Chain A
Amino acid sequence: MLQKLYDWVDERLDITPMWRDIADHEVPEHVNPAHHFSAFVYCFGGLTFFVVVIQILSGMFLTMYYVPDIIHAYESVYYLQNEVTHGMIVRGMHHWGASLVIVMMFLHTLRVFFTGSYKKPRELNWVVGVLLFFVILGLGFTGYLLPWDMKAYFATVVGLEIAESAPVIGGFARTLLAGGELIGAQTLARFFAIHVFFLPGALLGLLGAHFYMIRKQGISGPL
């Protein structure tokens, strides 16, 4: 049945080559922890992606309850945390996942650095990886404000003060992020938009480039 369905689609769209590009590739011995346990360091990138998927899924469920305005934001998070069935777990996954994705990404960066995997011909993939690092830090910064509790608000005040201290573009960057003089309704709306639309869009694009390059070039050889 499944085979028939596959053949039906394949006849029309010729998907076998695409499937080959995505799934059919080799895993060399030096990155396979089944053969050398120390190769677990090569799992960090995959685990980072795994946590990113958890973040996207849990975030999608959070937006079912979250209301991005300063009157209701806190109440909606409080309700989600204390009243909604399993709301505590979904919010917990998003909260702890945010920390975990940064830990995993940090370890992945160190692995790539210390195995010298960024060297020719993989320079561009390293650059895309560092950009992903920035995007994920940005997601952490903007997401921290959204519950609109005390620590969220004042962490953002400090963060925007730091942004403002940059020469030339500082004032512009602050106004762009805060949406005006005050850190208030506009800021929350902007951080929500950045956290839920702008940065995830950039994240998916960069991840696509990251994965395309690793598949095209293959994983770097043994040291």
Chain B
Amino acid sequence: MHRGKGMKFVGDSRVPAERKPNVPKDYSEYPGKTEAFWPNFLLREWMVGAVFLIGFLVLTVAHPAPLERVADPTDSGYIPLPDWYFLFLYQLLKYEFAAGQYTVIGAVVIPGVAFGALLLVPWLDSGKERRPLKRPIASGLMLLGVASIIFLTWESVDDHDWEAAAQQGEIVEGVEVDESAEGYEIYQSQESCIGCHGGDMLGGAAGPNIFESDYDTEEVMEIIQNGLGEMPGGQFEGSDEELETLAAFIANDGQDPDNGNGGGDDEDNNEENEED
């Protein structure tokens, strides 16, 4: 490039007026079968990218992204699970040497050492040799790390109750409670029921949604009288007829059983938290 005296610029800018010819370099002089990135290799890359993108789109259409029911921070019975790429870390914290009073080992020390070593690999393995078989310690440690991640992920997947997980997160169709039913009136007169299960019968701070478990009339009566899990029995105030009407109303998913539109067999039931 022309420098110094006699150099011309575009206007008063610092851009030289003299143009460089826009001809790609000749890579045939380079060793082996070197080719130019632009446009030869890029076109091939685009083809690979297009095939990749089609496969990716097929995946997204075949498997829609999952969505569970809206977050309910009060549901303490929910078994949590992080996304799959954190499972190895999550599993590590389940082992005795890394849990309880040793949590700091599983949560900080082991991952810290592993990822710290990964960050400092160029200085831990500073020899000139590049072939993996010629530096067995570095390669061995990396293989060990990869194997542990795969093992821990596998164990975590194996440990997890996937059916319960799918059920506990399912979106529950809103129950339309028949507010004109006799059973509904009886429910509204029971302060002890409302206290835990809420005025709308759909659960509250202490009790689950009344309709999420599948019981028949007899079983509902039994539970109201004798309690279940944390739920105390003998709280019902009223006659036996009223109790039966309420139980039938609950067993029929909030519809008046005399109207004939039955419930009680729907598949949308949630995990039966009452039994935990």
Given known pairs A28-B30, A89-B57, A96-B59, the reply for A183 and B119 (CB within 8 Å) is no
Given known pairs A16-B20, A150-B71, A165-B108, the reply for A26 and B35 (CB within 8 Å) is yes
A selection of 22 A-B contacts at a CB cut-off of 8 Å is A12-B15, A26-B36, A27-B40, A30-B32, A74-B71, A92-B59, A92-B65, A93-B56, A94-B65, A113-B121, A114-B139, A115-B132, A127-B119, A141-B83, A150-B69, A150-B75, A150-B78, A151-B66, A152-B68, A165-B104, A166-B107, A183-B73
Whether the Cβ atoms of A27 and B34 lie closer than 8 Å is yes
B142 on the A face (CB < 8 A): yes
* Stretch binding the partner chain, chosen from B42-50, B197-205, B209-217: B42-50
* Stretch binding the partner chain, chosen from A43-51, A190-198, A199-207: A43-51
Given known pairs A117-B130, A158-B82, A167-B104, the reply for A95 and B20 (CB within 8 Å) is no
B273 on the A face (CB < 8 A): no
Per the 8 Å Cβ criterion, residues 51-83 of B in contact with A are 52-53, 56-57, 59-61, 63-73, 75, 78-83
B162 on the A face (CB < 8 A): no
A116 to B90, CA, bound (A): 30
Chain A positions within 8 Å of B, measured between CB atoms, are: 10-14, 16-17, 19, 23-30, 32, 34-35, 43, 46-47, 50-51, 54, 70, 74-75, 77-78, 81, 88-89, 91-100, 102, 110, 113-120, 122-123, 126-127, 130-131, 133-134, 137, 140-141, 144, 147-155, 157-159, 162, 165-167, 183-184, 220, 223
Whether the Cβ atoms of B64 and A81 lie closer than 8 Å is yes
Max count, chain B CB within 10 A of own CB: residue among A23, A81, A151, A153? A151
Per the 8 Å Cβ criterion, residues 16-40 of B in contact with A are 16, 19-20, 22, 24-25, 27, 30-38, 40
A220 to B122, CA, bound (A): 14
The count of chain B contact residues (Cβ–Cβ below 8 Å) is 82
Q: In the complex, what's the smallest C-beta–C-beta distance from B93 to chain A, in angstroms?
A: 7
Whether the Cβ atoms of A149 and B41 lie closer than 8 Å is no
In the A-B complex, the 5 residue pairs with the smallest Cβ-Cβ separation, listed nearest first, are A116-B130, A92-B60, A29-B32, A154-B80, A95-B65
B2 on the A face (CB < 8 A): no
Chain B positions within 8 Å of A, measured between CB atoms, are: 10, 13, 15-16, 19-20, 22, 24-25, 27, 30-38, 40-42, 44-45, 48-49, 52-53, 56-57, 59-61, 63-73, 75, 78-86, 89-90, 93, 103-104, 107-108, 115, 118-119, 121-123, 125-132, 135, 138-139, 142, 146, 168-169
Max count, chain A CB within 10 A of own CB: residue among B27, B85, B129? B85
Q: How many A-B residue pairs have CB under 8 A?
A: 214
A102 to B19, CA, bound (A): 44
A119 to B129, CA, bound (A): 9
A17 to B1, CA, bound (A): 12
Whether the Cβ atoms of B30 and A26 lie closer than 8 Å is yes
Whether the Cβ atoms of B108 and A16 lie closer than 8 Å is no
Partner of B27, one of A26, A92, A150: A26
Whether the Cβ atoms of B86 and A159 lie closer than 8 Å is yes
Whether the Cβ atoms of B122 and A102 lie closer than 8 Å is no
A15 to B34, CA, bound (A): 26
A152 to B69, CA, bound (A): 10
Whether the Cβ atoms of A50 and B52 lie closer than 8 Å is yes
A35 to B24, CA, bound (A): 22
Whether the Cβ atoms of A155 and B73 lie closer than 8 Å is no
